[in-house]
Amino acid sequence: METTQLEGLISMLFVLGILVLLVLPSAFGIVRDRRIDRQLREAEQGHRKDQKSSSKPTEPSTATWYAEGRRSKKLVSS
């Protein structure tokens, strides 16, 4: 290899290195965004499955039962 060819090779590698340094952050950002989108999609599908599977009626909590009782007592006493 002659000197001019070696200089050309070094210059080409330098330019490619700079290009990689400029493209690498955006590539990481794209990968990160896709991962977050996938996680959000999976969470949304899991939430939909939970809603469909809970078709059976649930019993009210103690706080709800207590509040309902107090409301009915107020109506009676008024």
Residues 54-76: tens digit of each pLDDT: 555 666 566 666 666 666 555 55
Residues 5-46: tens digit of each pLDDT: 999 999 999 999 999 999 999 999 999 999 999 999 999 888
Write down the pLDDT at residue 1.
78
Listed in sequence order, the residues at least 6 apart from 9 whose beta carbon sits closer than 8 Å to its beta carbon are 1
Query: Residue for token digits 């909590």?
Result: 61
Q: Which residue has the higher pLDDT, 15 or 48?
A: 15
- Res 53 pLDDT > 70: no
The alpha carbon of 62 is separated from its chain's Cα centroid by a whole number of angstroms, namely 35
Query: Residue for token digits 């649930």?
Result: 58
Write down the pLDDT at residue 66.
65
**Phi and psi at residue 58, in whole multiples of 5°?**
-105, 155
Asked if residue 67 lies in contact with residue 75, where contact means CB atoms within 8 angstroms, the answer is no
